[in-house]
């Protein structure tokens, strides 16, 4: 028995040390499952520092684009992508059998909410199943997709154990939340600290060593659940504070105050205050969705996440509030909303990106059309806007276009838009982002959120 135990320890050490050695020498073969806004920048990053990377993607269009060296993610440098593909450091495939020859696997698949606002983790389950089919020793598996605390321990770890390999000995399992901020000019993958929570201390060590080849700072926590909760706290913090800013905007309008002036004045306090700003609603894949994962988890434990629910209620109601204020602004000008020519200025969910996921512009569009308005849009980053029930193309922003509108609704404050042009040729502008703050001598009537 003692001999067997010693042999087991030697085998365990060999697996861990062998994998660590391959990672440190950059000889480890890397697979990134999911080549979207999170996965592709990560795959490019690891290829850049010398790893051979296979990106696994179910979309044949994306696979073809990558292998041609064609970029489709704004935060990825197109020239660098092409160079890495030509050099053979990065390739894309929809064949999961490549996992048999892979040392390190990172799961970066989408985790949306379903129609009942419950977590849809089907993509994680699918990736887990394919990894299980190709699991071998030694191998590192990391989940980056946002999910509820306990996902790794409850959904991945028990299933992989059925392969007959020991976690922390034969293979290594961890969670590391993605921290992607699209179009952030300062913080990219390399200089954004990476949180790591492994199932065992050795799992944490191997995962931290892996990310340490790319990321400047790695922060280890005690468990996957702690890392999962870290991600949800980050975005719940933003959800709640944006909800507060949106409610303050409503309060300021009732009091006849300029919410932007109030927030900017408060932001001069050098301690105890962090400015958040109101808008027409939340968008993107993280802030509107991630806190709901936490609410869903806690409902099963018979606990009500009241702050999250209240913030969600306020933020979700903002598109309707914006439309009602737009209707009142039209009414003040003697114009009925029915038949009113309406231009949505910006439909991406945030400034200077092309991502329309969960954008409040969708709700504003449908509500305005529900009132009978004739709606078009302009967005320099979104030439074509498609959804399940409509398809539109961006109109050119010209004096003629602006003069034809009864109201212009600024939904996204893209820096490429000429707001001075808007102020000179539009008749009525409802500004939900304070984008018109620097215009001079506007001819248009400007109404602020």
Task: Please tell me the predicted confidence (pLDDT) of residue 434.
Answer: 97
**3-state class (DSSP) for residue 229:** helix
Helices 306-332/360-370 angle, 10° precision: 50
**What average pLDDT does this structure show over 152-180?**
96
User: In whole angstroms, what is the distance from residue 325 CA to residue 448 CA?
Assistant: 10
Q: Which helix (H) or strand (E) holds 141?
A: strand 139-143
User: In whole angstroms, what is the distance from residue 204 CA to residue 147 CA?
Assistant: 19
Torsion, Cα of 302, 111, 352, 74 (10° steps): 160
Task: Please tell me the predicted confidence (pLDDT) of residue 13.
Answer: 60
- 12-26, 160-174, 208-222: which range is least confident on average? 12-26
* Token pair recorded at residue 32: 């990134």
- CATH 3.40.50.720 in the chain, residue ranges: 2-222, 264-448
State which CATH number among 3.30.465.10, 3.90.180.10, 3.40.50.720, 1.10.940.10 fits the domain covering 264-448: 3.40.50.720
**Res. 422: pLDDT tops 50:** yes
Third-level CATH fold of 2-222: Rossmann fold (3.40.50)
**What average pLDDT does this structure show over 13-26?**
94
* Block residue for tokens 């990219």: 188
Task: Please tell me the predicted confidence (pLDDT) of residue 265.
Answer: 98
Kindly report the CA angle at 13 between 10 and 17, in degrees rounded to 5? 140
**What average pLDDT does this structure show over 336-351?**
97
Q: Chain-wide mean pLDDT for the chain?
A: 94
pLDDT confidence tier of residue 286, bands split at 50, 70 and 90: confident
Annotated active-site residue 203? The verdict is: no
**What average pLDDT does this structure show over 334-349?**
97
DSSP conformational letter for 190: T
pLDDT confidence tier of residue 271, bands split at 50, 70 and 90: very high
CA 69, chain centre distance (Å): 24
* Residue 56 · residue 33 · CB < 8 Å: yes
**What average pLDDT does this structure show over 311-325?**
96
pTM of the model: 0.91
CB-neighbour burial class of residue 79 (10 A; exposed 0-12, middle 13-18, buried 19+): exposed
Query: Which residue of the set 104, 108, 203, 286 is catalytic?
Result: 286
């Amino acid at each position: 028995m003692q001999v067997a135990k010693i042999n087991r320890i030697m085998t365990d050490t060999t697996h861990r040390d062998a994998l660590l050695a391959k990672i440190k020498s950059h000889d480890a073969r890397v697979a990134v499952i999911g080549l979207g806004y999170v996965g592709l920048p990560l795959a490019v990053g690891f290829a850049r520092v010398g790893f051979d990377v296979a990106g696994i993607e179910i979309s044949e269009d994306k696979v073809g684009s990558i292998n041609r060296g064609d970029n489709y993610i704004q935060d990825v440098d197109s020239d660098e992508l092409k160079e890495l593909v030509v050099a053979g450091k990065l390739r894309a495939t929809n064949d999961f059998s490549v996992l048999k020859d892979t040392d390190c696997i990172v799961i970066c698949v989408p985790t949306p909410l379903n129609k009942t606002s419950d977590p849809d983790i089907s993509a994680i389950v699918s990736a887990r199943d394919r990894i299980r089919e190709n699991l071998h020793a030694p191998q590192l598996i990391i989940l980056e997709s946002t999910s509820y605390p306990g996902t790794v321990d409850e959904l991945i770890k028990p299933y992989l154990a059925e392969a007959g390999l020991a976690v922390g000995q034969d293979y290594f399992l961890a969670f590391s939340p993605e921290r992607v901020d699209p179009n952030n000019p300062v913080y990219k993958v390399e200089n954004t600290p990476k949180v790591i929570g492994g199932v065992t201390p050795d799992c944490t060590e191997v995962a931290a060593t892996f990310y340490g080849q790319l990321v400047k700072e790695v922060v280890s926590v005690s468990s996957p659940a702690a890392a999962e909760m870290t991600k949800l706290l980050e975005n719940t913090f933003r959800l709640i504070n944006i909800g507060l800013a949106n409610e303050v905007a409503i309060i300021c309008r009732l009091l006849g105050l300029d919410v932007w002036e109030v927030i900017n004045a408060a932001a001069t306090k050098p301690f105890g205050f962090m400015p958040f700003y109101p808008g027409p609603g939340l968008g993107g894949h993280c802030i509107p969705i991630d806190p709901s994962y936490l609410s869903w988890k806690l409902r099963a434990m018979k606990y009500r996440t009241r702050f999250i629910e209240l913030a969600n209620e306020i933020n979700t109601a903002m598109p309707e509030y914006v439309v009602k204020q737009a209707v009142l602004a039209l009414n003040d000008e003697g114009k009925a909303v029915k038949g009113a020519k309406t231009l949505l200025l910006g439909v991406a969910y945030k400034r200077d990106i092309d991502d329309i996921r969960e954008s409040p512009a969708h709700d504003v569009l449908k509500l305005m059309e529900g009132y009978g308005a004739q709606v078009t849009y302009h967005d320099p980053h979104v030439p074509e806007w498609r959804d399940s029930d409509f398809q539109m193309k961006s109109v050119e922003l010209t004096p003629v276009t602006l003069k034809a509108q009864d109201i212009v609704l600024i939904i996204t404050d893209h820096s490429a838009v000429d707001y001075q042009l808007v102020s000179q040729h539009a008749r009525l502008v409802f500004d939900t982002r304070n984008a018109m703050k620097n215009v001079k001598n506007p001819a248009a009537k400007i109404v602020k959120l």
